[in-house]
């Protein structure tokens, strides 16, 4: 689904002209006046998990084809920051072709402290493109100096859980297994093309992301002001400053008006996206909050959702089935306090990190609603107030909500089992236990309520 709105705001145009001269001194003001005279826009594109029964290596989804079109039409530059690459040859080939025809192509990807990527084909980006860098060295520095001292515990550790203890509302939360630091995550998924277009959102460049299967939402924007700020963020990472080492754009207000829509941009961790963006918007809600999120472990945003419910706001949350098994998940806390939470049973994941507030304000980005997402990882979050795409997004959310049986308002389906559609025949490890489809005993057993 796609929604496009032209930009006619003169004030934002003047801001872009002035800032453009400062940051691009080699370009004349006339260049910016010419390019910004063309209409800017915001497009919101959703990918429904209800349309796919397995991951796809092709680029037939709208979120992928729009990105592919951008890359194919690039004339001068492509700068990208992606978590990794898996099974998306069309995107890789388009980047290689762009480089071959003279487009300057640069990228940053995620690596852990072992210099490994989560997605298996990430090394192909590094091999085929001349300028791709990672956060590996930054992760080593963080690992070397990371304090391992435990804070005083003010709550009881849940039985059988050995991970770092988190206390919230007098209850202890922890992962079942110990967690060893493997590096903070460069978790962005954005492309900047010709210093004018930005493609960004929750979709990884993978067979389950841009290939389909997972629920995702991306934003495609034409705006030199927005592109310039993404460029500043990209340059920091490309030059070796990742995670908490980033200093530029710290707590900066990055706002622009596009056709009556106020677009605000937050980079993590220096932008404090939760405290300066998401939480204030939730506090402003008067009628409704619809949340679609992969991980929801952030203590303060969970508390704000409960407070919104208590003041009469309708609050609905769709959570991923695998994420519901996370020892830090707050979905039971939300349920205990009257918030309606459905855990998906699609097979594909609820991979979005978004919300619709009062049926008119959108939150879209790469940041899971977690403490690490806000304070450690490299992420980007957009808040679009008075979004023209809000009615389309509301319909999309309602379709997803209606597809999940009411029984999962009270309980959670197992992510790889006969409880979750297609999960036993999709060829992937949905619950990350290293067992696929029929190898998993839950796929060989007819489950009874």
Q: 338-348 pLDDT, tens per residue?
A: 999 999 999 99
Residue 47's pLDDT is 98
pLDDT tens column, 50-59: 999 999 999 9
Under the banding of pLDDT at 50, 70 and 90, the label for residue 436 is very high
**Rounded percentage of the chain residues whose pLDDT exceeds 90:** 80
**Which range (146-155, 181-190, 426-435) has the least confidence?**
146-155
Residue 146's pLDDT is 62
Q: Is the pLDDT of residue 113 over 80?
A: yes
Q: Is the pLDDT of residue 23 over 80?
A: no
Cis bond upstream, residue 198 (ω within 30): no
Among 298, 330, 353, 360, the one annotated catalytic: 353
Residue 169's pLDDT is 82
Under the banding of pLDDT at 50, 70 and 90, the label for residue 154 is confident
Residue 259's pLDDT is 86
**Rounded percentage of the chain residues whose pLDDT exceeds 70:** 89
Nearest residue to 114 (alpha-carbon basis) of 139, 83, 144: 139
Is 141 noted as a catalytic residue in this protein?
Answer: no
Question: Which pTM value belongs to this model?
Answer: 0.88
Among 110, 358, 426, 440, the one annotated catalytic: 358
Structural domains in the chain, CATH included, are 4-139+182-407 (3.30.870.10)
Is 353 noted as a catalytic residue in this protein?
Answer: yes
Q: What is the mean pLDDT of residues 305-323?
A: 98
- What φ, ψ does residue 228 adopt, rounded to 5°? -60, -40
Q: What is the mean pLDDT of residues 233-237?
A: 98
CA angle 344, 348, 352 (to 5 degrees): 70
- 190 or 162, higher pLDDT: 190
Q: What is the rounded CA–CA span in Å between residue 287 and residue 96?
A: 48
Among 243, 349, 351, 360, the one annotated catalytic: 351
Pairing of β 131-134 and β 104-109 = parallel
Q: What is the mean pLDDT of residues 32-53?
A: 77
């Amino acid at each position: 689904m796609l929604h496009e709105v032209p930009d006619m705001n003169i004030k934002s145009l003047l801001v872009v002209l002035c800032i453009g001269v400062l940051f691009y001194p080699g370009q004349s003001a006339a260049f910016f006046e010419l390019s910004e005279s063309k209409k800017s826009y915001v497009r919101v594109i959703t990918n429904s998990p209800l349309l796919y029964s397995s991951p796809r290596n092709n680029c037939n989804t709208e979120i992928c084809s729009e990105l592919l079109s951008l890359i194919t039409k690039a004339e001068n530059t492509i700068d990208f920051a992606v978590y990794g690459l898996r099974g998306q040859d069309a995107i890789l080939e388009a980047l290689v072709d762009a480089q071959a025809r003279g487009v300057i192509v640069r990228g940053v990807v995620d690596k852990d402290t072992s210099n490994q990527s989560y997605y298996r084909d990430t090394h192909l980006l590094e091999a085929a493109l001349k300028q791709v860098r990672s956060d590996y060295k930054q992760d080593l520095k963080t690992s070397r100096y990371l304090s391992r001292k435990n804070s005083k515990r003010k709550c009881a550790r849940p039985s059988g859980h050995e991970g770092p203890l988190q206390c919230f509302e007098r209850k202890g939360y922890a992962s079942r297994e110990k967690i060893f630091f493997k590096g903070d995550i460069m978790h962005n998924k954005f492309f900047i093309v010709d210093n004018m277009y930005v493609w960004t959102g929750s979709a990884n460049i993978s067979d389950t992301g841009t290939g389909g299967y997972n629920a995702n939402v991306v934003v495609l924007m034409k705006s030199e002001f927005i592109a310039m700020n993404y460029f500043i963020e990209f340059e920091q990472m490309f030059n070796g400053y990742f995670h908490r080492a980033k200093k530029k754009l710290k707590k900066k207000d990055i706002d622009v008006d596009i056709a009556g829509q106020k677009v605000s941009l937050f980079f993590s961790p220096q932008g404090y996206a939760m405290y300066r963006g998401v939480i204030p918007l939730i506090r402003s809600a008067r009628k409704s909050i619809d949340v679609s999120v992969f991980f929801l472990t952030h203590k303060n945003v969970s508390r704000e959702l409960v407070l919104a419910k208590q003041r009469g706001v309708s609050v609905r949350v769709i959570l991923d089935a695998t994420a519901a098994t996370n020892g830090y998940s707050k979905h039971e806390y939300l349920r205990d306090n009257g918030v309606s939470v459905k855990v998906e049973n699609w097979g594909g994941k609820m991979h979005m990190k978004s919300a619709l507030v009062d049926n008119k304000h959108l939150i879209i980005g790469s940041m899971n609603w977690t403490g690490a997402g806000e304070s450690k990882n490299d992420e980007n979050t957009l808040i679009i107030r008075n979004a023209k795409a809000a009615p389309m997004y509301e319909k999309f959310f309602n379709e997803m909500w209606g597809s999940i049986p009411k029984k999962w308002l009270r309980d959670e389906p197992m992510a790889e089992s006969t409880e979750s559609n297609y999960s036993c025949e999709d060829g992937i490890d949905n619950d990350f236990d290293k067992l696929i489809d029929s190898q998993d005993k839950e796929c060989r057993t007819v489950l009874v309520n």
